[in-house]
Chain A
């Protein structure tokens, strides 16, 4: 794991789970697999806190455990899974577009809680949906269940590995940790539940707008008394399936852009007949992007989508775009040239790009220093003398993609840090505004006069309001940037993964 990735994991864990979990998590990411006591000793944390932190991390599928010989249990962190926390909003939004609000809330609950039983999810989501409905209306469990089943069928949610039922005939001491198993065919099997019921609204007395909660609430003993029909069967969100969806989305939109260009040069026809479809496919196959390949003529021509090439094209397009935005369009021209011709000498670059020598050199060295372009040495003589060696410029897409990915991780870490800094700087003001809002809300609830409300609102002065506006704008911008950089990360990661698999 690179330093940049570890730093990013640290920021994510801290934002989502607090500093203690962050300390334990980052330690495991750095050192690899370790047993409980070593973790406590090395991090200087009390055993109890380490246990709690590990429970949280295991619950969220960020840490796994394994029993080694002599009964020692070792814990290992899943760094890539931690980085996926960046993408939670995108997973939830995708679920919304595919399965509407019900699907959205199911995925959200699963992501927030790591793993849950189906009955727990259905109940929670029904309650939440009921809150948003008009007075008197409630959400039926059956509807939520149906959406859950559809999500399972399309593999967006999957079952977690479970503890196998052991026969009691096995003598001897119980193992230090259960071995969890899951069968391929069981992964999407929905248990036969008859969940009958409707969502419940939270009683208004439970909500305290004035911020005066009772110091101790009665524990929810009532809920625990009901037997859970699918006890032990936990579900989690299947992130890989979401990734597949994103990848397909990316390719489709790239092709759509392409089709747009081609489409405009063709006569517009509202009914797409078979012949026109044929034409389109041929065009796509001939297209230099090589997304679609024709593999044989059986059945009138079989077309295949070449995923690896598609991802490669997307990654290359990203690189070109970055060069253009960072160094200018002339640099981008040179970059595309070298990409196309694979290997070029300095002189050839100047000639083909039609850019004066001095500028061309300047641009090439700039790109070279940032590792978008690399030099390939080809010696003419065995002694590798520099004056008798060819130096060819080339673009190694895989290493350039890796370099860019690394920069993306750094960027997001910077964005998060800046956002935290901005929030901390204005902490006092934020707290004041929250207090004022709470006071106004409670006064409105108890029916206060307009004049009194005005007075309270004026507690925040105009320049302070300005400051708050600026803060909100900046935080929004930083958040939005994080989301968009994550899209680039996904693209580059997919390409690198696809390339590594082929080797």
Chain B
């Protein structure tokens, strides 16, 4: 039934002559592979324009490319450690100017969490007290103290900060993220300490607590 093609012969539904083939059966072969990657072209491309303007723009383009690589906005990927630590590599590092964005124009969550543990504690405390006005609930304070009890050093402050930055998020999500962040930041802190920082370490709002608290308080969190 379906195989019957009009008395056993193929018949086109349109006028084959219109397409350009005569009624004979000399249809070209079916192409079974993709077209070649670099097909031959009959016509060569038009030569490029030359002139003062074009030459200047070309030079500009190449210069810009080089300049961009040296700007502080270009984020280098940390290269993997090579087998032999080349002495010359240390001295061929290109000096890059630091860039500090204008924090007033950016969302608060953009500010980096502190890297160095010691300096970190002080700055985090300052930050914590600075932003403390947003969490004046006694419930939250209790939560803080509970967490101080459970968890170890350093990480607590990270979590608190992360919590505050996403303060309007549900606490469940917050908890899950905290654990990830704690792990992340722990590893991260160690790596970062070895590298040069892109952000000025001394940037933070000087709370009244700067320097007043010693680190010993944080270590002896035994309640």
Whether A93 contacts B95 by the Cβ 8 Å rule is no
Interface residues of A in 332-375 (CB under 8 A from B): 346, 357-358, 361-362
* Closest residue of B by beta carbon distance from A50: B110
Instruction: Specify which of B15, B56, B75 is in contact with A20 (CB 8 Å cutoff).
Output: B75
* Closest residue of A by beta carbon distance from B76: A18
**A479 interface residue per 8 A CB criterion:** yes
For A55, A214, A386, the residue with the greatest tally of chain B CB atoms inside 10 Å of its CB is: A55
**B166 interface residue per 8 A CB criterion:** yes
**B34 interface residue per 8 A CB criterion:** no
Interface residues of B in 59-88 (CB under 8 A from A): 60-62, 64-65, 67-68, 71, 73-77
* Closest residue of A by beta carbon distance from B109: A36
Whether A211 contacts B91 by the Cβ 8 Å rule is yes
Whether B73 contacts A46 by the Cβ 8 Å rule is no
Whether A178 contacts B105 by the Cβ 8 Å rule is yes
Instruction: Specify which of A20, A49, A328 is in contact with B43 (CB 8 Å cutoff).
Output: A328
* Closest residue of B by beta carbon distance from A326: B43
A361–B184 Cα distance when bound, in Å, is 65
Whether B184 contacts A219 by the Cβ 8 Å rule is no
From residue B77, how far is it (CB to closest CB) to chain A in Å? 5
Whether A220 contacts B97 by the Cβ 8 Å rule is yes
Instruction: Specify which of B93, B94, B133 is in contact with A173 (CB 8 Å cutoff).
Output: B133
From residue A431, how far is it (CB to closest CB) to chain B in Å? 11
A139–B65 Cα distance when bound, in Å, is 26
Number of A residues near B (Cβ < 8 Å) is 78
Whether B54 contacts A480 by the Cβ 8 Å rule is yes
Tell me what chain A mostly uses at the interface: helix, strand, loop, or mixed: helix
A370–B90 Cα distance when bound, in Å, is 54
Whether B68 contacts A112 by the Cβ 8 Å rule is yes
Q: Which of B1-9, B45-53, B211-219 contacts A (4 or more CB under 8 A)?
A: B45-53
**Number of chain B interface residues as a range:** 35 or more
Instruction: Specify which of A173, A234, A387 is in contact with B13 (CB 8 Å cutoff).
Output: A387
A59–B74 Cα distance when bound, in Å, is 12
* Closest residue of A by beta carbon distance from B15: A387
Interface string of A468-490 (1 = CB under 8 A from B): 00000001110111111000000
Whether B60 contacts A73 by the Cβ 8 Å rule is no
Interface string of A200-215 (1 = CB under 8 A from B): 0000000000011111
Whether B49 contacts A484 by the Cβ 8 Å rule is yes
Whether B188 contacts A477 by the Cβ 8 Å rule is no
A contact residues around B95 at 8 Å (CB): 213-214, 217
B contact residues around A21 at 8 Å (CB): 73, 75
A58–B97 Cα distance when bound, in Å, is 19
Interface string of A312-341 (1 = CB under 8 A from B): 000000000000011110000000000000
A73–B105 Cα distance when bound, in Å, is 13
Whether B75 contacts A176 by the Cβ 8 Å rule is no
Instruction: Specify which of B14, B18, B46, B48 is in contact with A346 (CB 8 Å cutoff).
Output: B18
Interface string of B29-54 (1 = CB under 8 A from A): 00000000000011101101100011
A479–B62 Cα distance when bound, in Å, is 8
Interface string of A105-139 (1 = CB under 8 A from B): 00010001110000000000000000000000000
**A71 interface residue per 8 A CB criterion:** yes
B contact residues around A16 at 8 Å (CB): 68, 73-74
Whether B13 contacts A386 by the Cβ 8 Å rule is yes
A36–B173 Cα distance when bound, in Å, is 14
Whether A358 contacts B20 by the Cβ 8 Å rule is yes
**B209 interface residue per 8 A CB criterion:** no
A contact residues around B109 at 8 Å (CB): 36, 51, 73, 176-177
Whether A215 contacts B91 by the Cβ 8 Å rule is yes
Interface residues of A in 18-67 (CB under 8 A from B): 18-21, 36-37, 46-49, 51-56, 58-60, 65, 67
Whether A174 contacts B73 by the Cβ 8 Å rule is no
Whether A477 contacts B48 by the Cβ 8 Å rule is yes
Whether A387 contacts B14 by the Cβ 8 Å rule is yes
Whether B177 contacts A37 by the Cβ 8 Å rule is yes
**B149 interface residue per 8 A CB criterion:** no
> Given that A176-B108, A361-B20, A480-B54 are contacting pairs, would A386 and B14 also be in contact in the complex, using a CB cutoff of 8 Å?
yes
A173–B112 Cα distance when bound, in Å, is 20
A334–B82 Cα distance when bound, in Å, is 62
From residue A232, how far is it (CB to closest CB) to chain B in Å? 7
From residue B61, how far is it (CB to closest CB) to chain A in Å? 4
Interface residues of B in 158-214 (CB under 8 A from A): 165-169, 177, 181, 184-185, 188, 192, 196, 198, 200
Whether A163 contacts B57 by the Cβ 8 Å rule is no
* Closest residue of A by beta carbon distance from B73: A56
Instruction: Specify which of A219, A328, A358 is in contact with B98 (CB 8 Å cutoff).
Output: A219
From residue B87, how far is it (CB to closest CB) to chain A in Å? 12
Whether A65 contacts B107 by the Cβ 8 Å rule is yes
**A17 interface residue per 8 A CB criterion:** yes
Instruction: Specify which of B46, B57, B168, B200 is in contact with A71 (CB 8 Å cutoff).
Output: B168
Instruction: Specify which of A92, A173, A386, A387 is in contact with B60 (CB 8 Å cutoff).
Output: A92
From residue A101, how far is it (CB to closest CB) to chain B in Å? 12
Whether B168 contacts A17 by the Cβ 8 Å rule is no
Whether B169 contacts A89 by the Cβ 8 Å rule is no
A29–B165 Cα distance when bound, in Å, is 25
B contact residues around A163 at 8 Å (CB): 104-105
* Closest residue of A by beta carbon distance from B187: A46
**A385 interface residue per 8 A CB criterion:** yes
**B222 interface residue per 8 A CB criterion:** no
B contact residues around A234 at 8 Å (CB): 102, 105
From residue A61, how far is it (CB to closest CB) to chain B in Å? 12
Interface string of A91-108 (1 = CB under 8 A from B): 011001000000000001
Would you list 8 pairs from A and B whose C-beta atoms are within 8 A, ordered by A residue? A20-B77, A51-B111, A88-B64, A176-B107, A177-B108, A211-B91, A211-B92, A479-B58
Apart from A213-B95, A483-B57, what are 6 other A-B pairs with CB-CB below 8 Å?
A37-B177, A52-B75, A55-B106, A65-B107, A213-B93, A325-B45
